[in-house]
Chain A
Amino acid sequence: AQKVTQAQTEISVVEKEDVTLDCVYETRDTTYYLFWYKQPPSGELVFLIRRNSFDEQNEISGRYSWNFQKSTSSFNFTITASQVVDSAVYFCALSEALKGGDFDAGNMLTFGGGTRLMVKP
């Protein structure tokens, strides 16, 4: 079974600080996808990024960047110059085929427990 661990349950920073959210995963699949979702106080789940296991290039989107390292099974998320609007719970997730590796038969997202980020003004 797959597993996603977000060891940091809660992080508090002051606005404009940089912050990194850690994500470590376990899987026996050779092909897999990793995701990050944001859950603001309003409660919805907002998709941030999807990365496949064959693409280890780091990605940057504005103030957000992601560091994927297969060697350490990690997919960390960094927010540069944090803002109050970044306050939310962030979830890392791993996609898994439900039936014998056959993705056409359905897949499941295995989520980490989430990291609550509080950015103070």
Chain B
Amino acid sequence: NAGVTQTPKFQVLKTGQSMTLQCAQDMNHEYMSWYRQDPGMGLRLIHYSVGAGITDQGEVPNGYNVSRSTTEDFPLRLLSAAPSQTSVYFCASSSSVRRETQYFGPGTRLLVL
């Protein structure tokens, strides 16, 4: 049981490039979400999914897209990277939507030049 896994661990992009951050969980969790962590600001919700085929925007969705074609995977796409998207990205999952504990992946550190 690997829990929540994220790839890559670290990525450098140039402004304007696109990329996909991968997130997978093997716990058959219904609820998945993406957060970004910036210094001194805790974590902020980007997008979330209450189940396969259903996604919605969180607090800071601009510049990001998501899809959820399977229960296990929840990739985050950066459409055209900007320096303001330099951050640490965390994927999380929980067994159900209702306030269940969210377990976080190890994070992806992204640097946009």
Contact = CB atoms under 8 A, between A and B. Distances in A.
A56 to B, nearest CB: 17
Contacts of B97: 103-107
B87 to A, nearest CB: 12
Interface in A75-107: 91, 93, 95, 98, 103-107
Given A106-B50, A114-B42, A98 B101 contact: no
* Interface residues of chain A: helix, strand, loop or mixed (majority): strand
A111 B48 contact: no
Q: Report the contact-size class of chain B (Cβ under 8 Å from the partner).
A: 20 to 34
B59 A112 contact: no
Contact of A106 (B44, B48, B90, B103): B48
A55 interface: no
A9 B42 CA distance: 11
Contacts of A107: 31, 97-99
Contacts of B90: 45
A106 B105 CA distance: 19
Interface of A: 4, 9, 33, 35, 37, 43-45, 47, 50, 52, 91, 93, 95, 98, 103-114
Interface of B: 31, 33, 35, 40-45, 48, 50, 56, 58-59, 88, 90, 97-99, 101-107, 109
